[in-house]
Structure 1
Amino acid sequence: MSVVAESRGTPRWGRLKLPPLPEPPATRSGRVLLAAQAAVLLAMTGTVATRTWQDHTWFGFLLMGLALALWVPEARQRRIRRWWFVYVAGIFVYTLLRAYADEAGAPIRITYPISFDRWLFFGTDPTLWLQRRFFDPRDIGLLDYLAVATHWSFFIAPHALAVGVFLLQRRQFPRFAVLMVGTMWLGLALFFLVPTAPPWFAGEIGQLAGVRRIMDYVGGSIHGSAYSSLYAALGEPNSVAAMPSIHMAVTFAMYLWGRRHLPRLAPVLLAYCGVMAVSLVYLGEHYVADLLAGIACASGAWLVADRLAPELSEPAMQPADTGSRLQS
Structure 2
Amino acid sequence: MPRRRTALIGLGAYLVATVLLFAFTGVLVARESIFLWLLVGLLAVSLADVRGFARGVIFDWLPFYLILVAYDLLRGYVGANPLFPPYFLPQIDADRLLFGGTVPTVWLQERLYRVGELPWYDVASWAVYMTHYFAVFAVAACLWRVSRLRFLEFRAMVITLSVAAFATYALVPAAPPWMANDHHLIGEVARIPGSVWTELGIAPAASIWDKGTSLYNPVAALPSLHAAFPMLLLCFFWRGGAVVRGLAAAYVLAMAWTLVYGGEHYAFDVLLGWAYAIAVFLSVRWIRRRLGERRARARAAAGAGLADAPGSTAATRRATAGSSGASGSSTAPGSTSRSGGRSVRCRSRAPGR
- Equivalent position amino acid for 2:76 in 1: A
Report the Cα distance in structure 1 between the residues aligned to 2:97 and 2:139, rounded to whole angstroms. 36
Match for residue 157 of structure 2?
A: 179
Largest Rg, 1 or 2: 2
Report the Cα distance in structure 2 between the residues aligned to 1:122 and 1:228, rounded to whole angstroms. 42
Task: String of CA shifts for 1:227-257, please: whole Å, max 9, x gaps.
Answer: 5967984685311111110111111111111
> Identity across aligned pairs (percent)?
29
Report the Cα distance in structure 2 between the residues aligned to 1:200 and 1:229, rounded to whole angstroms. 25
Residue 242 (structure 1) aligned to one of 210, 221, 231: 221
Secondary structure of 1:265 counterpart: helix
Match for residue 285 of structure 2?
A: 306
Match for residue 105 of structure 1?
A: 83
Q: Does residue 76 of structure 2 align to residue 93 of structure 1?
A: no
Report the Cα distance in structure 2 between the residues aligned to 1:289 and 1:81, rounded to whole angstroms. 39
Task: String of CA shifts for 1:132-189, please: whole Å, max 9, x gaps.
Answer: 1111012121111110110111112111110111111222221110011111111111
Asked whether the equivalents of residues 140 and 217 of structure 1 are also in contact (C-alpha less than 8 Å), the reply is: no
Report the Cα distance in structure 1 between the residues aligned to 2:284 and 2:255, rounded to whole angstroms. 24
Q: Does residue 186 of structure 2 align to residue 208 of structure 1?
A: yes
Cα distance change on mapping 1:304 and 1:112 into 2, 3 Å = same
Asked whether the equivalents of residues 49 and 233 of structure 1 are also in contact (C-alpha less than 8 Å), the reply is: no
Aligned residues: 242
Moved more, 210-219 or 280-289: 210-219
Match for residue 60 of structure 1?
A: none
Question: 1:45-84 maps to which residues of 2 (within 5 A)?
Answer: 48-49=31-32, 82-84=59-61
Asked whether the equivalents of residues 75 and 166 of structure 2 are also in contact (C-alpha less than 8 Å), the reply is: yes
Residue 106 (structure 2) aligned to one of 128, 132, 137: 128
- Equivalent position amino acid for 1:113 in 2: Q
- Equivalent position amino acid for 2:162 in 1: M
Cα distance change on mapping 1:91 and 1:299 into 2, 3 Å = same
Q: Flag structure 2 segments of 5+ consecutive residues without an equivalent.
A: 1-27, 34-54, 293-298, 300-353
Report the Cα distance in structure 2 between the residues aligned to 1:81 and 1:281, rounded to whole angstroms. 39
Task: String of CA shifts for 1:100-130, please: whole Å, max 9, x gaps.
Answer: 2232421211111011001100011100111
Question: 1:1-328 maps to which residues of 2 (within 5 A)?
Answer: 48-49=31-32, 82-102=59-79, 103-223=81-201, 226-227=203-204, 233=212, 236-260=215-239, 264-309=243-288
Cα distance change on mapping 1:125 and 1:215 into 2, 3 Å = same
Report the Cα distance in structure 2 between the residues aligned to 1:129 and 1:46, rounded to whole angstroms. 30
Q: Flag structure 1 segments of 5+ consecutive residues without an equivalent.
A: 1-44, 51-77, 317-328
Report the Cα distance in structure 2 between the residues aligned to 1:91 and 1:169, rounded to whole angstroms. 22
Asked whether the equivalents of residues 72 and 215 of structure 2 are also in contact (C-alpha less than 8 Å), the reply is: no
Report the Cα distance in structure 2 between the residues aligned to 1:232 and 1:131, rounded to whole angstroms. 32
CA root-mean-square deviation? 3.0
Report the Cα distance in structure 2 between the residues aligned to 1:93 and 1:232, rounded to whole angstroms. 14
Report the Cα distance in structure 1 between the residues aligned to 2:89 and 2:145, rounded to whole angstroms. 45
Moved more, 146-155 or 164-173: 164-173
Report the Cα distance in structure 1 between the residues aligned to 2:211 and 2:256, rounded to whole angstroms. 23
CA apart distance, 1:47: 6.5
What is the TM-score of this pair, normalised by structure 2? 0.62
Report the Cα distance in structure 2 between the residues aligned to 1:138 and 1:293, rounded to whole angstroms. 33
